[in-house]
């Protein structure tokens, strides 16, 4: 599984643990993609997940959510609602999940398997590969339509 999918899985697990329901993963059309579409507390969520390693140059993915990226997500969400009219009456929200990916480094064992990243909202360890993923932040209403 690739790093992006792993990050999306961590965000989805967290939403499920809070009582949310994931409707779609990587919903695509020719001009855009939405990483996760979910319902939580009677609100339809369009979620952009950014998964980065510790040494990144874009503020853990936040700088990658440009106005152009936001417009693409909004347009994709509008098309999703056209294709799923039964959801059109739900209030909608655009959220961002920030996930830290810590690749396995079996040459340098870390007690407990993963280095400390503070107190994440959610975390998981791939027991087969030893890779760790941490949901560092979940930004509700990250941008408006």
SS3 state of residue 137: strand
pLDDT single digits (tens) 10-60: 999 999 999 999 999 999 988 899 999 999 999 999 999 999 887 777 877
Look over the chain and give the mean of its residue pLDDT values, rounded to a whole number.
86
How far is 82 from 24, CA to CA, in rounded Å?
15
Residue 110 pLDDT more than 50?
no
CATH number of residue 94's parent domain: 3.40.1350.10
Burial class (CB in 10 A: 0-12, 13-18, 19+), 68: exposed
The pLDDT value given to residue 96: 97
Determine which helix (DSSP H) or strand (DSSP E) holds 44, and give its type and residue range: strand 43-52
Confidence (pTM): 0.84
Of residues 62 and 121, which shows the higher confidence score? 62
Residue 113 pLDDT more than 60?
no
φ and ψ of 66, to 5 deg: -75, 170
Structure-token pair, residue 112: 């407990």
Number of domains making up the chain: 1
Domain that holds residue 75: 3-143
């Amino acid at each position: 599984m690739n790093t992006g999918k792993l990050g999306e899985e961590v965000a989805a697990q967290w939403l499920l643990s809070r009582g949310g329901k994931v409707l779609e993963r990587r919903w695509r059309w020719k001009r855009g993609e939405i990483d996760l579409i979910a319902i939580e507390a009677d609100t339809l969520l369009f979620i952009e997940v950014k998964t980065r390693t510790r040494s990144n140059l874009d503020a853990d993915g936040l700088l990658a959510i440009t106005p152009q990226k936001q417009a693409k997500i909004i347009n994709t969400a509008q098309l999703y609602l056209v294709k799923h009219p039964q959801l059109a009456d739900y209030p909608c929200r655009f959220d961002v999940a920030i996930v830290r990916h810590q690749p396995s480094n079996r040459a340098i064992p870390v007690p407990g398997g993963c280095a400390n990243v503070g107190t994440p909202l959610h975390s998981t360890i791939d027991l087969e590969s030893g890779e760790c993923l941490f949901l560092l932040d979940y930004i509700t209403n990250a941008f408006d339509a």
